[in-house]
Chain A
Amino acid sequence: MTDVLDAPATTPLGQPIKRTEDPRFITGEGRYLDDIKLQSMTHLAILRSPYAHANIRSIDTSAAKSMPGVHAVFVGADIPYNPLPMAWPAGGSAGITNNINTPRVLATDSVKWTGEGVAAVVAETPEQALDALEAIDVDWEPLPAVVDSEAAIKDGAPQLHENAPNNIVFEWSVGDKDGTAAAIEGAEVVVTQRLVNQRLIPNPMETRGDIGWYNPGTDEYTVWMSSQTPHIQRLLLAAFVTGIPEHKIRCISPDVGGAFGTKIFTYADMPLVMFASKAIGGRPVKWVEGRRENYQSTIHGRDHITYVEIAGKRDGEVTGVRVKTYANLGGRLSTIGPGIPTTLYARVLSGCYKIPNVYAEVTGVYTNTVFVDAYRGAGRPEATYVIERAMDLFAAEIGMDRAEVRRRNFIPKDQFPYENPSGLGTASGGAKIYIDSGDYEPAMDKALGMVDYAALAAQKADARDRGKLLGVGLSTYIEVCGVAPSKWIGAVGEGWGAAMWESANIRVHLTGKVVVTVGTQPQGQGHETTYAQVVAAELGVPMEDVIVQHSDTLGTPFGYGSYGSRTSSVGMTAAIKAADKIKDKARRYAAHMLEASPDDIEIDGAEYRVKGSPDRKKTFQEIAFALDLAFDAPEGMEPYLDETAYYDTPNCTWPFGTHIATVEIDEETGVVDLVRYVAVDDVGNKINPMIVDGQLHGGIAQGVGQALWEGAVYSDDGQLLTGSMMDYVLPRAAMLPNFELDQTVTPSPVNPLGVKGVGEAGAIASTAAVANAVVDALSAYGIRHLDMPYTPQKLWSAIQSAKGGQA
């Protein structure tokens, strides 16, 4: 754990400085969506389907319209907007058919999941809006539902969409099919396993919400939204949904209380509040999502069923991996739903291993469930889970130690850049990307040392004496972060319909204070601190002289937002490039002030000195003052220090590391206790080690949550049985041990900071580590696999079965 500083020592870069935004968050002074109260604001509530699959015969809103305080009641047919956009079909148009169905603002003819919106009330108060919802009468025609992806593609399953026979969204593949088949057929050892990566409900602390305001005077819309991507939302709402010109829409994300990916997307409520505000004459319309509503109207994560085959030699060499994955994408598609189980999953399926033959088929499936999209890690936790479980299964099969099998198959550190066979380099029509750096053994060895792996047998024996089954699990993960080069992700073969660069503007005011505006969008990561650390270090000014502004399409340069662990590597590189431009202009002006050549000016922090004459110098603040007044600007030089830079990364970044979980299982009850958690992560250089630790802590907790507790459960008829925090088990501090963190440092070669990103690493690594630990513990009973989450009953039942049914 890192020590924490109140203020920087010398340079702020790399220092564990307390987050400058925290005082307002901790003291209740943050300004989240629901804190915004506008003059004459009204309130909207959404009537949601009680059925998972049903036709809407008719909707009678007459009683609701006459309820006290009600301004308007809308149904789908009232709203002329298009369905929501599909921004990332699988494989783009490169020979892959995507049978696309996205939600409408309100459903018109039928509903495809419990919770799909069918009508909306705008009223004077939230209470009146909710009361009026109860007066809306929908004549439903319930239809058979299907919630499981394998069941949905079977003959005779309920059909959700006319354009998607057998409920198939797409069938996509990557890798060398024939080569992998040959490798598996000729292998000494092949292990096969069905793996379920269960559906998760992301649960940011702040639910979503929007306020729409139509200004009749200017014919412009302002939309406050709890979003990770205000710029993208303005673009998508304008170009695809509403038809309102982009420059007539302003999107603002206030403080955002967590997101984990759920707030990347375009949701039906966004255009709904825009439409509603105009419809009632321009009064602002607020919608705030309730927690139970969040479980049914905001995306879920994961939900894969995978068949994996891993093949190799008895000496430990893995020669081939083949997977078939059914990805449950819900009743309709979320904004980038298909991109997650394809590009972000299968293309990194071989992890940190040099596996010569890899082939993956992915089938996207519609079911009568909430739509699935990117959730912390987004495809990469699923890939890590598959390969890390498969490595353990393979090791168990050949009787070799799990760490040694990993060591045997790591990509050697002298083989970077490495083009993996699961498709990073096979994008059609676009640029290839590579795993550019890595050194996997030191991280694993450090973690093994921390848990005294050599003494594992003794630890197990000791636990057994106490009636406990002890298990240790490894996850030697790799992550693709810092997404992404536009020419790769935007290429036809990947299908993401946009670029992925970032932007930053720096202005230095007359008083020397620095205003940084950025296109990324924090959700609790501490960007106001870390951007300030980077810019302050670049310009040589005190951190407290730098303010970082974001989140408003008015006044910040366009950016693609924060997700995919990209802000530090892509966004902050843009800030450095902007700072470079500022320094270049300051150097030229300093040369003018000091009557020297710009080439003779050397910069030391905030001092601009003439080489060889250290007394002839100007401070950055003096230069900013003079250049802002511009009384004495040289010919051709514009006043003011104001520079914008855009940055498109040449490659993604590749964090890696080894996480090791130790669990104990009470044999008599099946209760699992996570007794120890060790993580050695290589995220490159760190801007703020304290924030890195915090990101790892949160990510590890979420990943552990999936292994031990979390899981969305639907009844067969599509009711969400884990519909609240009373049923859906989230990890809590008291359920977790202290995390023991350590590091190796392999700077990323693709950005000047050498950073890689850390927002998702913990969640990507930890699920597999805990799963492997639980299975290791159960191996005492010959159990080689069990699907998550590891509830006491599931483990108890597995142990009973292994004992031959004897309790």
Chain B
Amino acid sequence: MIPAAFDYRRATSIDDALAALAGGDAKVIAGGMSLLPLMKLRLAQPSMLIDIGRLEELKGSRATADGGWEVGALTTYTEALEATELDFTRECILGIGDVQVRNRGTVGGSISHADPASDLPALLLALDYSAVLRSTRGDRTVPLDGFFEGAFQTGIAPDEILVKLVRGPLAASAKGSYLKMAHPASGYSIVGVCAVVASSGGAVSHARIGITGVGEVAYRAKAVESALLGSDGSPSAVAAAAAHAADGQTVNSDIYADRDYRSKMAEVYTRRAIDAALGR
């Protein structure tokens, strides 16, 4: 549990970090809750760490002018928990790691690391977040839907750093829930589902379903969303929609939960999450 030797550079500004990143085989480290364990096991052996952990400009979350919300990449889970007014965001964050991990781990770190069983990607997908990426070439904003390209792989280019996550205003009268079946040892999601739904005039008018732990990456269950949209949101309609939870996914399989079981649980937890969001 001792990492291989590496160089260490504490960035003094984002520009400083971006300049260092251009230098080659370096990894950006923030809270270190995901990267350090891999390094201690020598599964990751970067030649240099660029520590962005003290860049105040990347910290904190706030309302945006358009009524949306933005979260700085260096915002810790605990800070995000304290800032949010969404009860399902609280549920989601409280299920991540433990107090120490939540005090160190950052929102940007989780999204950049892109563990296929992390909870935040499902939450942020269901809330229509986008990632703001910066490089010496400038900023670009990339929707999270499509951002996760594979296990531990994202659309972040080698010379880019994730600086913040942004979303527009919530859909009118939207409610949400986050439910997970956690692996009892690691705490990671076997299945984690975030449902954000709104109803209008007796019909479901908005539906976003983010699912983690099930597929190769966290994803939006669009077949569930479209089945739900316009339906009456009755238990049977929700159950019918939830049956599509794993549609199109190559479902994960391991010694704790095999493909069939995990697929079935994706359905069950999706149904329960939607029901909970609808107030059942």
Contact = CB atoms under 8 A, between A and B. Distances in A.
Interface of A: 126-127, 130-131, 290-292, 668-669, 671, 709, 713, 721-722, 725-730, 735, 791-793, 796-797, 807
B185 A730 contact: yes
Contacts of B264: 796, 807
B268 A669 contact: yes
B268 A668 contact: yes
Interface in B3-48: 4-5, 41
17 contacts: A126-B2, A127-B5, A130-B2, A131-B5, A668-B268, A669-B181, A709-B184, A709-B185, A713-B255, A726-B185, A727-B185, A729-B183, A792-B181, A792-B261, A792-B265, A796-B261, A796-B264
Contacts of B173: none
A304 B41 CA distance: 32
Interface in B213-262: 255-258, 261
A572 to B, nearest CB: 38
A519 B232 CA distance: 75
A797 B264 CA distance: 11
B157 interface: no
Contact of A797 (B2, B183, B186, B261): B261
A728 B268 contact: no
Contacts of B258: 793
A725 B41 CA distance: 13
Most A Cβ at <10 Å: residue of B41, B181, B264, B268: B264
A793 B257 contact: yes
B185 A729 contact: yes
B96 to A, nearest CB: 14
Contacts of A669: 181, 265, 268
B1 interface: yes
A292 B43 CA distance: 14
B186 A726 contact: yes
B181 A131 contact: no
Contacts of A796: 261, 264
A291 B255 contact: no
Contacts of A668: 268
A722 to B, nearest CB: 8
Most B Cβ at <10 Å: residue of A713, A722, A727: A727
- The majority secondary structure among interface residues of chain A is loop
Interface string B177-214: 00001011110000000000000000000000000000
B127 to A, nearest CB: 26
A671 B186 CA distance: 16
Given A668-B268, A729-B184, A796-B261, A290 B1 contact: yes
A792 B257 CA distance: 8
Most A Cβ at <10 Å: residue of B181, B185, B265: B185
B1 A291 contact: yes
Contact of B4 (A131, A292, A722, A728): A131
Contact of B185 (A130, A291, A728): A728
A674 to B, nearest CB: 12
Nearest to A728: B185
* Closest 10 pairs between A and B when the two form their complex, measured CB to CB: A729-B185, A726-B186, A793-B261, A729-B184, A290-B1, A127-B2, A130-B2, A713-B255, A793-B257, A668-B268
A716 to B, nearest CB: 12
Interface of B: 1-2, 4-5, 41, 181, 183-186, 255-258, 261, 264-265, 268
A807 B267 CA distance: 11
Contacts of B1: 290-292
Nearest to B188: A726
Contacts of A713: 255
A131 B45 CA distance: 12
Contact of B184 (A126, A131, A735, A807): A735
Contacts of B265: 669, 792
A581 to B, nearest CB: 50
Contacts of B256: 727, 791, 793
Given A729-B183, A793-B257, 5 more contacts: A669-B268, A722-B255, A726-B186, A729-B185, A792-B265
B187 to A, nearest CB: 9
A725 B185 contact: yes
A292 B40 CA distance: 11
B1 to A, nearest CB: 5
Nearest to B3: A127
Contacts of B255: 713, 721-722, 727
B254 to A, nearest CB: 9
Nearest to B262: A793
Contacts of B183: 729
A797 B258 CA distance: 11
Nearest to B190: A792
Most B Cβ at <10 Å: residue of A709, A721, A792: A792
Nearest to A791: B256
Contacts of A735: 184
Nearest to B269: A669
A78 B86 CA distance: 65
Contacts of B181: 669, 671, 792
A668 B185 CA distance: 22
A728 B255 CA distance: 11
B9 to A, nearest CB: 20
A67 to B, nearest CB: 12
Contacts of A709: 184-185
Nearest to A130: B2
Nearest to A290: B1
A45 B194 CA distance: 46
Contacts of A671: 181
A626 B86 CA distance: 77
